[in-house]
Amino acid sequence: MSSDAYAFWIAEPGRGEIRPVTLGEPGPDEVLVRTLHTGVSRGTETLVFSGRVPESQWSAMRAPFQEGDFPAPVKYGYLNVGLVEQGPPELLGRTVFSLYTHQTRFIAPISSVTVVPDDVPAHRAVLAGTVETAVNALWDARPLIGDRIAVVGGGMVGGCAAAILARFPGVRVQIVDTDAGRAEMAARLCAGFASPETALGDCDLVIHASATEAGLTRSLELVAPEGTVVELSWYGDKPVSVPLGEFFHSRRLTIRGSQVGGIVPGRRRSYADRLTLSLDLLRDDRFEALVTGHSPFAELPEVLPRLADGSLPALCHVIDYPEE
């Protein structure tokens, strides 16, 4: 079967397939991009793959270049790094990041692609969207020099947040996770590591990214009086119990939601500024610790079910595309 391009679609919850795509010619304000890598995490995208987006969130959860509708069939994804093959001279041959789906080639508006710095490896640049989420969360959290901080949940988002926080002067940052195997990742990020039982308390700030009730409860236990828990987890259609009895009110704790779709009021930065900053941060080799596997595009229909059910352990799993 010949085609201008091929794209990954969720045909039905829990089953994906690769479909042909016919491309036209890019317009004057568009680029033709050949994909080099896309990224998959075990967070939002595996919830989408499993059909677990609540109907009330179908509109809010649409990806910028999504086709189809939830729960399926739907073409979904948002971590794409590719090479510009047609477009304005200043972009030709440049490596760019965009929020495009898993597709071998695509046409997109020039305004939707951002040039990747030359010293950021293309495969690492797929983390840009997740680093954006972490940057946005820290803008919401407003950590200070010398803070004691716990990051509960050492997944892709938590790892990105910890990697940035580890650069703050005088900050004690500890990743808290039930998976002892993530201690090595924490060390590579220059962060501490602890199990939930041994985590250091009296924290000025806790970033919660485990997407579990137990993780949220432990976050509230670790934060000091008057402290804040920034909630980054997205639970899909799963109800969550929050322990608002016991010490919650007497210690005057705050739970603050953070979502990459909105920049905190008063922060004089655009979405383009935030993405440019995120790509600049990825110059740091420590982020390589979050790239935990590679698979070819042709195997994506077999890889996503394994990521969704946990049989393929991963933080950021990179999908590699053929040169032609």
Q: What is the pLDDT of residues 53-109, one digit of tens each?
A: 999 989 988 999 999 999 999 999 999 999 999 999 999 999 999 999 999 999 999
The helix/strand/coil state of 8 is: strand
13 vs 259, more confident:
13
Which helix (H) or strand (E) element contains residue 108? strand 105-109
Residue 106 domain-assigned? yes
Q: Is the peptide bond before 20 cis (omega within 30 degrees of 0)?
A: no
Q: Does the pLDDT value for residue 177 go beyond 90?
A: yes
User: Would you call 241 exposed, middle or buried from its count of C-beta atoms within 10 A (0-12, 13-18, 19+)?
Assistant: exposed
| 145 and 168 both lie in a single domain | yes
176 vs 257, more confident:
176
Across the chain, mean pLDDT equals 94
Nearest Cα neighbor of 149 from 173, 185, 184 is 173
Percent of the chain residues topping a pLDDT of 70: 99
Residue 162 domain-assigned? yes
**pLDDT band at residue 268 under the 50/70/90 scheme:** confident
Q: Does the pLDDT value for residue 311 go beyond 90?
A: yes
Q: Does the pLDDT value for residue 2 go beyond 60?
A: no
Q: What is the pLDDT at residue 1?
A: 40
Residue 264 domain-assigned? no
* CA 130 to chain centroid: 3
| 134 and 225 both lie in a single domain | yes
Residue 270 domain-assigned? no
Q: What is the pLDDT at residue 134?
A: 96
Q: Does the pLDDT value for residue 261 go beyond 80?
A: no
Rounded distance, CA 296 to CA 320, Å? 5
Q: Does the pLDDT value for residue 166 go beyond 50?
A: yes
Residue with tokens 């703050």: 168
Residue 191 domain-assigned? yes
| 28 and 54 both lie in a single domain | yes
| 136 and 246 both lie in a single domain | yes
Rounded distance, CA 229 to CA 255, Å? 5
| 107 and 35 both lie in a single domain | yes
Count up the domains in the chain and report the number: 2
- Asked whether the beta carbons of 227 and 204 are under 8 A apart, the reply is yes
| 152 and 206 both lie in a single domain | yes
Nearest Cα neighbor of 262 from 140, 111, 158 is 140
CATH assignment at residue 242: 3.40.50.720
Q: What is the pLDDT at residue 60?
A: 86
Sign of the Cα pseudo-torsion (265, 270, 273, 275, in order): positive
- Domain span at 287: 5-119+283-320
| 137 and 249 both lie in a single domain | yes
pLDDT in tens, 127-142: 999 999 999 999 999 9
Looking only at the bridges linking them, the beta strands covering 172-176 and 114-115 are: unpaired
151 vs 236, more confident:
151
Q: Which long-range CB contacts under 8 A does 209-215 form with residues at least 24 apart?
A: 209/151, 209/152, 209/153, 209/155, 209/157, 209/158, 209/161, 209/233, 210/152, 210/153, 210/155, 210/158, 210/177, 211/43, 211/153, 211/155, 211/235, 212/153, 213/240, 213/241, 213/242, 215/152, 215/153, 215/176
| 152 and 111 both lie in a single domain | no
DSSP 256: E
| 76 and 167 both lie in a single domain | no
Residue 42 domain-assigned? yes
Residue 173 domain-assigned? yes
**CA distances, 273 to each of 115, 145, 168 (Å):** 12, 23, 20
Single residue among 239, 257, 275 that ends a domain in this structure = 257
Mean pLDDT (whole number) for 186-201? 98
CATH assignment at residue 55: 3.90.180.10
| 110 and 138 both lie in a single domain | no
Q: What is the pLDDT at residue 3?
A: 63
| 190 and 147 both lie in a single domain | yes
| 249 and 294 both lie in a single domain | no
Residue 265 domain-assigned? no
